[in-house]
Chain A
Amino acid sequence: GENVEQHPSTLSVQEGDSAVIKCTYSDSASNYFPWYKQELGKRPQLIIDIRSNVGEKKDQRIAVTLNKTAKHFSLHITETQPEDSAVYFCAASISPALIFGKGTTLSVSS
Chain B
Amino acid sequence: NAGVMQNPRHLVRRRGQEARLRCSPMKGHSHVYWYRQLPEEGLKFMVYLQKENIIDESGMPKERFSAEFPKEGPSILRIQQVVRGDSAAYFCASSRLPGGSQETQYFGPGTRLLVL
- Nearest-Cβ distance from residue A45 to partner chain B, whole angstroms: 7
**A95 sits at the interface (CB 8 A):** yes
Binds B, one of A13-21, A68-76, A78-86, A96-104: A96-104
Within 8 A of A (CB), among B95-116: 98-110
Which residue, B40, B42, B45, B99, has most C-beta atoms of chain A within 10 A? B42
- Nearest-Cβ distance from residue A8 to partner chain B, whole angstroms: 14
Interface residues on A, range: 20 to 34
- Is the pair B102, A98 in contact by a Cβ cutoff of 8 Å? no
- Is the pair A97, B56 in contact by a Cβ cutoff of 8 Å? yes
Compute how far the CA of A90 lies from the CA of B54 in the bound complex, rounded to whole angstroms. 26
Q: Which of B42, B100, B106 is close to A93, meaning CB atoms less than 8 Å apart?
A: B100
SS class of chain B's interface: helix, strand, loop or mixed?
A: loop
- Is the pair A96, B108 in contact by a Cβ cutoff of 8 Å? no
**B48 sits at the interface (CB 8 A):** yes
Within 8 A of B (CB), among A18-44: 31-32, 34, 36, 42-44
Compute how far the CA of A102 lies from the CA of B31 in the bound complex, rounded to whole angstroms. 25
Supposing A89-B43, A97-B45, A100-B43 touch, asked if A44 and B107 sit within 8 A by C-beta, the answer is yes
Interface residues on B, range: 20 to 34
**Inter-chain residue pair count (beta carbon < 8 A):** 66
SS class of chain A's interface: helix, strand, loop or mixed?
A: strand
- Nearest-Cβ distance from residue A29 to partner chain B, whole angstroms: 10
Compute how far the CA of A101 lies from the CA of B48 in the bound complex, rounded to whole angstroms. 19
- Is the pair A46, B45 in contact by a Cβ cutoff of 8 Å? no
Chain B positions 2 through 44: 1 when the CB is less than 8 Å from some CB of chain A, otherwise 0 = 0010000000000000000000000000010101000011111
28 residue pairs bridging A and B, Cβ less than 8 Å apart: A6-B42, A32-B103, A43-B4, A43-B107, A43-B108, A44-B107, A45-B107, A49-B104, A93-B99, A93-B102, A95-B99, A95-B100, A96-B33, A96-B48, A97-B33, A97-B56, A97-B99, A98-B43, A98-B45, A98-B93, A98-B105, A99-B45, A101-B42, A102-B40, A102-B41, A102-B42, A103-B40, A103-B42
